[in-house]
Structure 1
Amino acid sequence: MAQTQKFIATGRRKTSVARIRMTPGTGKIDINGRSFEDYFPTAPLQNTVLQ
């Protein structure tokens, strides 16, 4: 059976919690089922996400 890598992380600030799950895939970035361009509309922010 092939072993897949999965990374899980949690970030917190005050009462907010951000969780991320990364698994091998096509390279497409989704946030809550939507494209990351919807959340980061400007080119500098999109470049930061892609780095």
Structure 2
Amino acid sequence: KELKEVAGKQLSAYEAMKAGGRNGDAGLDQLDEQADEIKQAKVGLEAELQK
């Protein structure tokens, strides 16, 4: 459950940063990659919790 909360917070932070557009395109590309990893981890965690 804690991991899921952390993943959710990271995703929220990412979305806020992306909306703010502070980092420029290169930074956003890096954030997109991180967000994909976070989303995959979150999906994996949710699948584990369903079992």
Normalised by the length of structure 1, the TM-score is: 0.34
Higher alpha-carbon Rg: 1
Q: Could you tell me the TM-score, scaled by structure 2's length?
A: 0.34
Tell me: higher relative CO, structure 1 or 2? Use CA pairs within 8 A at least 6 residues apart: 2
